[in-house]
């Protein structure tokens, strides 16, 4: 049996939304592109046809991946979690001692992570170190680029 992956309800809904889009809209777009490309003649030298078929293969692979992710998903019940403790679905404001700056991180499941938007995985070095902490706690993170020191300033549920 595959290992379950934790998701917030929002993250799970995004996967479902993407799967629905790929199964309906995107498949139809590719089907039409293949039909148009076939009209250009000889398929052996038809780059439009090759491109459409390659895109079709990518979409079908992503559909299978999403189906597997959804099948092995476990949605956390955020209402049962202590809002003052950092967990999946929390937003934590921390103070970076070394850089003298405040940072805000949203803790999400590994497939929802988006570092550019400060959405970090509960399995990342920083996310894992923050899990279970409360406002006022000091956190030491063993990261690939060295040890980081944070002080948790504030914790709240993201939604």
Contacts of 139 (CB under 8 A, 6+ apart): 94, 129, 130, 133, 149, 150, 151, 152
Q: Check residue 2 and give its pLDDT.
A: 67
Q: State in words which class domain 5-75 has.
A: mainly alpha
* Cα–Cα dist 18/121, whole Å: 20
Dump pLDDT digits (tens) for 66-88.
Answer: 999 999 999 988 777 888 999 99
Please state, for a pLDDT cut of 70, what percent of the chain lies above it.
98
Which whole-number Å values give the CA distances from 116 to 51, 85, 121, 144, in the listed order?
31, 24, 12, 18
What confidence score (pLDDT) does residue 1 get?
57
Give the start-to-end residue ranges of the domains of the chain: 5-75, 80-157
Second CATH level (architecture) for the domain 80-157: Roll (3.10)
CA triple 112-114-115, angle to 5 deg: 140
Contacts of 51 (CB under 8 A, 6+ apart): 37
> Could you report the per-residue pLDDT of 94-135, keeping only the tens digit for each?
999 999 999 999 999 888 899 899 999 999 999 999 999 999
Instruction: Check pLDDT > 80 for residue 92.
Output: yes
Measured between alpha carbons, how far is 12 from 158 in angstroms, rounded to an integer? 15
């Amino acid at each position: 049996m595959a290992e379950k992956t934790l998701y917030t309800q929002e993250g799970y809904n995004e996967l479902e939304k993407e799967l629905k889009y790929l199964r309906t809209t995107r498949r139809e777009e590719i089907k039409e592109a293949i039909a148009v490309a076939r009209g250009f003649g000889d398929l052996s030298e038809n780059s439009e046809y090759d491109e459409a078929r390659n895109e079709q293969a990518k979409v079908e692979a992503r559909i299978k991946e999403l189906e597997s992710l959804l099948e092995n998903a476990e949605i956390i019940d955020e209402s049962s979690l202590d809002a003052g403790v950092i967990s999946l679905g929390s937003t934590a404001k921390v103070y970076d001692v070394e850089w003298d700056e405040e940072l805000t991180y949203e803790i999400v499941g590994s497939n929802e992570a988006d570092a550019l938007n400060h959405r970090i995985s509960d399995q990342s070095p920083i996310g894992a170190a923050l899990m279970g902490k409360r406002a006022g706690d000091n956190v030491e993170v063993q990261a690939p680029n060295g040890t980081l020191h944070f002080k948790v300033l504030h914790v709240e549920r993201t939604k």
